[in-house]
Structure 1
Amino acid sequence: MSSGQKGRYALVADIGGTNARFALVAPGQLQPEQQITLAVDDFGTIDSAIRAYLEQVGIGEGEAPCEACLAIACPTSRDRISMTNNGWVFSRSELQHALGLVQLQVINDYAAQAYAAPHLKPDELFRVGGGEALTGHPIALVGPGTGLGVGGLIFDRDGQVALVTEGGHVDFAPTTELEIDILRYLLRYHEHVSVERLLSGMGLTNLHKALCDIRGVAGGPLTPAQISAKALEMGDSTCLETLQIFCAMLGSVAGNTALTLGAQGGVFITGGIVPRMLDLFAASQFRARFEAKGRFRDYMAAIPTQVVIAEQPGLLGASAALYRHAF
């Protein structure tokens, strides 16, 4: 922790297209406090949102944070940050100066998910299958939500380093006859069928459309929420099969990611879709497909897979990123 922050809270944030979540982190601590969620559309700039948050929690000018870490859903490698799904555009250096910060980190929101993973408590995780994590080995993350996030976390002598990838856009590789038919259906409409075309919110809709076509079932375009509700609450057979295939495909992709990263530290399933169907997910083919890697079956069986069910892992990850050399 830098001397400039001595005795003061640090600011952390997890900012998406709709909501901006803010919290404070006490000196020497990791867990965020005083969490407040603000609507992005209520503020013209990120600066005004941060100042509104500090005012709400009673932080005056003389007590303002000297350090901050902002996890943002967009590329963060350049000084100028332009958020993908909202109108906020800002300069990292200008924001740091305007807020009087000694240190400002701006990281991708999926990097925050990666930094959070080692610090999640047992009741913030839902375990599926066996295996035991090997300390100090890479961790993999696969997150179906609006899109499909894929990343990891590696460890070196200086601390932890997040791997932010575009792994959601790799080619979809079918492993069953039905999945081959699903790929053929999607190739009618897309030159490139990525795994995100199937393992995401739009992926559920694409899967359902494909199954209706293959099965000769009349089923109008359904939203992801409608598919889940009809499957879990009404027992609709096509919607239920959609979720089951989704879980099986996710197992294959999570297993591929684990092999690619050598993720013997464990695989974490993030995003908003899977936590809404935990019972079905646990009973699905996810884990069987995760382990079904031929000669590497035993290698895969030793890797634990867990669903992240924590409410605000992004804030925890931003805190861990800010102080990753200290924990």
Structure 2
Amino acid sequence: MPFLAADVGGTYARVALVRTSQDEGHEIEVLAYRKFACADFRGLAELLQTFVDVDARTPVRHCVIACAGQVIGNEVLHDNSAWPIHLSQLRQALALDDIGVLNDFEALGYALDYHADSSARLLCGPDTRVDGPALVIGPGTGLGAAVRLPCTAGDHVLTTEAGQMDFAPNSIREREVLAHLAPNGGYVAYEHIVSGPGLLTLYSALCTLRGETPKLSTPEAVTDAAVTCSDAQAVEAVEIFCASLGNFAGSLAMTFMTLGGVYLAGGFLYSLFALLERSAFKERFLHGRSARAFLSRVPVWVTEHGRKGVLGAAKWYLRRGLSGDAKSSHFSAAGLTR
């Protein structure tokens, strides 16, 4: 039975109608797929109903949603959500029998394929793919991260809120930026620096520190100006962004000993690949002293987001037996606990 798989971020939602293929491998077959801008809809129910009416064009009774944030009771809570997500209202509006919910980077973790990701580009480290814990990181509207652990019974993915860790400045300039963002001290999360909005925050802070008025108003404009070297503050903002991403990724790689590699996911980073290569990312990723010996063995790949989120969500959903003949009328317990 076909079911909906949705990957809902703060800016975009990717939705697919999927089912298990009939071949021996039981791969996931995508029957329809579409990417939506969240700002074009009043809520998730309207967005999903549009997909069902226009693209799926068939009744759907089961759905799995990969989204940023945490499920508390009946609600998905996240600072970067485009709108509130209330699961009981969503199920009622779409006449669904069942909704499964998981973290968006948990879904990306289940979609990782070490040997078949043709979009992956090696950023640093050895050009090898080995079994072992693997890390997926993605700066977008926020900063997500998850860890995939290989298991004999099937890979398991650990979700994290690593993007909420305290930003750790590594240079005098970064300390100046941090002091500007928190002049009275206090907590500044990594995602306030290493994300699309974080890049714009960096740019604005650097302009203020130089006594200049910011000329650019979007992360894309900052990126474009850095590529063309047409704005000195944009160039420096991207340099700090890339270096801080390296520090963040290296710290998590040490925490989870991710010999299986680090995957930087998302179209945002994919478009920055050339700038990442020239940046201090590698040096900051490698850290220093004894950690360097381990981290130099960890490959770092940059991969496109694409359909990975919906495919990973569908894989997670099918593994838990929640689609097909499932008759449950309540939310998946696994989904509620992430």
- TM-score exceeds 0.5: yes
Residue 23 (1) aligns with residue 19 (2): no
Among 18, 35, 40, which residue is 1:37 paired with?
35
Change (3 A) 1:47 1:309: closer
Q: Which residue of 2 aligns with 1:127?
A: 122
Q: Report deviation, 1:195.
A: 1.5
Change (3 A) 1:134 1:57: same
Q: Which residue of 2 aligns with 1:181?
A: 176
User: Is the contact made by 1:169 and 1:196 (CA closer than 8 Å) also made in structure 2?
Assistant: yes
Q: Which residue of 2 aligns with 1:4?
A: none
Change (3 A) 1:19 1:179: closer
Q: Report deviation, 1:253.
A: 0.7
Q: Report deviation, 1:94.
A: 4.9
Matched position secondary structure for 1:34: strand
Q: What does residue range 105-144 of structure 1 map to in structure 2 within 5 Å?
A: 105-118=100-113, 121-131=116-126, 132-135=128-131, 137-144=132-139
Q: Which residue of 2 aligns with 1:85?
A: 82
Q: Deviations over 1:180-219 (max 9, x none)?
A: 33333333166212222211123223322343344x3524
Q: What does residue range 169-318 of structure 1 map to in structure 2 within 5 Å?
A: 169-188=164-183, 191-214=186-209, 216-220=210-214, 222-223=216-217, 224-318=219-313
Q: Which residue of 2 aligns with 1:53?
A: 51
Change (3 A) 1:256 1:57: same
Q: Which residue of 2 aligns with 1:70?
A: 65
Q: Which one-letter code corresponds to 1:316 in the other structure?
A: L
Report how many aligned residue pairs link the two structures: 312
Matched position secondary structure for 1:282: helix
Q: Which one-letter code corresponds to 1:22 in the other structure?
A: V
Q: Report deviation, 1:10.
A: 3.2
Aligned mates of 1:305, 1:14 — CA distance in 2: 24
Aligned mates of 2:122, 2:146 — CA distance in 1: 19
Identity of aligned residues (%): 29
Q: Which one-letter code corresponds to 1:273 in the other structure?
A: F
Q: Deviations over 1:104-130 (max 9, x none)?
A: 421122221222223684332121012
Q: Deviations over 1:6-30 (max 9, x none)?
A: xx32321122345443212232222
Aligned mates of 1:39, 1:179 — CA distance in 2: 33
Aligned mates of 2:38, 2:223 — CA distance in 1: 28
Change (3 A) 1:239 1:314: same
Gaps of 5+ in 2: 21-25, 322-338
Change (3 A) 1:323 1:120: farther
Q: Which one-letter code corresponds to 1:89 in the other structure?
A: H
Among 3, 24, 38, which residue is 1:10 paired with?
3
Change (3 A) 1:19 1:147: closer
Aligned mates of 2:43, 2:173 — CA distance in 1: 48
Q: Report deviation, 1:230.
A: 1.9
Q: Which one-letter code corresponds to 2:130 in the other structure?
A: L
Aligned mates of 1:210, 1:50 — CA distance in 2: 38
Matched position secondary structure for 2:87: strand
Q: Report deviation, 1:247.
A: 0.7
Structure-2-length-normalised TM-score: 0.79
User: Is the contact made by 2:179 and 2:185 (CA closer than 8 Å) also made in structure 1?
Assistant: no
Matched position secondary structure for 1:319: helix
Aligned mates of 1:182, 1:118 — CA distance in 2: 38
Q: Report deviation, 1:252.
A: 0.9
Q: Which one-letter code corresponds to 1:258 in the other structure?
A: A
Q: Which one-letter code corresponds to 1:98 in the other structure?
A: A
Q: Which residue of 2 aligns with 1:5?
A: none
Aligned mates of 1:80, 1:192 — CA distance in 2: 26
Q: Which residue of 1 aligns with 2:334?
A: none
